[in-house]
Structures are given as structure tokens and as C-alpha cells.
Amino acid sequence: QVRLQESGPGLVRPSETLSLTCTVSGSIGIYYWNWIRQPPGKELEWIGYVFFSGSSNSKPSLKRRVVMSVDTSKNEISLQLSSVTAADTAMYFCAGGPRAVAGRLEIWGRGTMVTVSA
Amino acid sequence: EIVLTQSPATLSLSPGESATLSCRASQRLSSSYFAWFQQRPGQPPRLLIYGASGRATGIPDRFSGSGSGTDFTLTISRLEPEDFAMYYCQQHDRAPLTFGGGTHVEFK
């Protein structure tokens, strides 16, 4: 069974770039890898997805700040979010959707909390 | 983007009762790309229902989904203590994927 583990810096300063990693135990090529975030006490927000081939798609309002990639040698998925503000403070989850249905979020990591503060 | 509106925001019930949660989409969407998630405090969301009515692996049959077009429903029959949680609907018919604002099923 595929398992996911997110990791990140915990605290990021405003205007800097947030970098997160999701480590996949299992086959990295059978899912589309989605990033979703959830501000404290608020609803879920989809950030985007990336496939092991490198193809990706992201939410239009975040697109200019988002870079996602897959490192098949390390079985890792990465998210970079640039020019962060306090509004980017959230729990960040990675989630896998099968190749045939990329948005069916079948497996989730436990998430990593990111706080944007000076 | 497709906006999903969930109602009610809070549902106060007792164990053994049934819960009916609603989700309305701002545009018609394919039921094949509609899902429900459960989220307990401190945990990630868990896929309950996919394709509007299919139960995900390991989900008890007291959870059922229905609906089409713009109106979808999640029914939980005979609430168990572990069912008191947040529930979110989600569509992945059209990018960007979107979630509803959630319904909190709480102890009465």
C-alpha cells in the first residue's frame, strides 16, 4: 500500500519561497500527485497536481507562484510556492489520485504545517 | 471555477440517528467526478464516496451517496461515535478541483 509523508520547514518568512517534499513509499508512477492546503479552521483548497512524467496543472490564482516536480530517483514530490504571505499559512497535504482519475484523492499524507511569519 | 455550497454548516445529532448532508454545485457536473470526504480533528481527509455513489475501500455501508447534476447528498445512517466529524464534498470534473465549505456533524 502506498504511503505518503510530507515534510517542510515549519516557518517561512514573508516574501520567501516555501519548499515542501512528499515522500512516497511505493510506486510513484501510478498516481497523479496533488497538493492541497487547509488554513487553520478553514476549508480545503486544491493547489495543483503533477505526474511522474512532469505534466502538471495548478489553480489559476496560484499558478504564477507554484512549481511542482517529481524526483523518481528519490520517490519524492516537491512543491515550491514563491512570494508567500500570511495567507499561505496552512496545513499542506499531498494526496494521490489514480492515473485514470487524477482528481479522485484516494490516499493522503498526514500533512505538514507551514506558518508564514516574520 | 465550480463553487460547491454545503448545507447545513452544522448538524447536531445523537448516536444512532441518521444524517443527511447536502452539496450544491454552481454548474452541472458529471457525477463520475464528485466525491465526499470525512475529516476528523488532527487527521487528513479520508475519501468516503467517489463517483457520487461509490463507497471507497473500507468504508462501512452506513455511508451512502446520491445525486446528479448540481445536487448531491451524503447520508449516514445509524451514526456511530466515530462519525462525528467534518464532511467535505469535492468535484474534479473541471479544473480547478474545488471543495465545499464543509458540514460539521456534532454531538447533540
Closest partner residue to A44 (CB to CB) among B56, B88, B95 is B88
pLDDT band at B23, cuts 50/70/90?
A: very high
What's the CA gap between B98 and A45, in Å, rounded?
7
* Residues of B in Cβ contact (< 8 Å) with A3: none
Closest partner residue to A43 (CB to CB) among B92, B96, B99 is B99
Bridge partners of A93? A36
Q: Which residues of B touch A (CB under 8 A)?
A: 1, 33, 35, 37, 43-47, 50, 56, 88, 90, 92, 95-102
Question: Residue B70: pLDDT above 90?
Answer: yes
End-to-end CA distance of chain A: 40
What's the CA gap between B41 and B62, in Å, rounded?
21
What's the CA gap between A45 and A105, in Å, rounded?
13
| Segment A13-28 mean pLDDT | 96
Distance of CA B7 to the CA centre of its chain: 10
**Tens digits of per-residue pLDDT, A57-77?**
999 999 999 999 999 999 999
**CB distance B45–A34 less than 8 Å?**
no
Q: And the C-alpha cell for A92?
A: 499542506
